[in-house]
Structure 1
Amino acid sequence: MGKVRTKTVKKASKIIVEKYYNSLTTDFDTNKKVCQEIATIPTKRMRNKIAGFTTHLMARIKKGTVRGISLKLQEEERERRMDYVPEVSYVDEIINRGIEVSDEVSDMLKTIGFGDLKSVTKVSHSTGHHQHHNKRRGNKSY
């Protein structure tokens, strides 16, 4: 069974991680020394709990963003991801490759005035019904 971490331990660890992120690692002993130097913690047991949770948070931060912790590093990375614009969009790639449509869809496009699109190619299917596969029941034809 796991141990219960109190609100005090979690709050102190989050504050320490936000303020002293650069001096913390994923090593408990290093984090214990950092906690001892930067904070006034009343007992050794409490210090160890805070250092342990801080180590846990640092490991989670390495994997990805952590809810409730605002790091300049995380914010910059998030902004970088949001500002990224690919050279050729995914939609343009698909259009350039060409879109294959059935006879029925091709006729629909012609009726609304889009029959002469260059990237759309008509493909006729040999079977009139679709094949569906269900893992439990096997192949079914509808």
Structure 2
Amino acid sequence: MGRIKTKLIKRKTKELLSVYPDQFTSDFSENKVKVSEFAKVGSKKLRNTIAGYMSRLKKKE
């Protein structure tokens, strides 16, 4: 069983994917760097959660 992501995480991730669809990959470490570049994220935990959710979505594609 996994942890359920909040609306904020899902919304930010989908916004980033719609604006920069080819910039993100299924690699978590690369996505961390890209999320910090493209989005203004207040905390490291939020950045990591968005990057992890992004990786999961890209693996499903």
TM-score scaled by length of structure 2:
0.92
Runs of 4 or more consecutive aligned structure 1 residues displaced over 6 Å after TM superposition:
none
Alignment match, 1:12: 12
**Once the two structures are aligned, what percentage of the paired residues are identical?**
34
Q: Unpaired segments of 5 or more residues in structure 2?
A: none
In the aligned structure 2, how far is the partner of 1:58 from the partner of 1:2? 17
Greater Cα radius of gyration, structure 1 or 2: 1
CA-based RMSD of the aligned residues comes to 0.9
More strand by share: 1
Alignment partner of 1:47 is 2:47: yes
Q: Tell which has more relative contact order, 1 or 2 (C-alpha 8 A, sep 6+).
A: 2
Instruction: State the shift of 1:18 in Å.
Output: 1.2
In the aligned structure 2, how far is the partner of 1:28 from the partner of 1:49? 10
AA at the equivalent of 2:53: F
More helix by share: 2
AA at the equivalent of 2:6: T
Instruction: State the shift of 1:3 in Å.
Output: 1.1
Between the two proteins, the alignment pairs up a number of residues equal to: 61
Q: Unpaired segments of 5 or more residues in structure 1?
A: 62-142
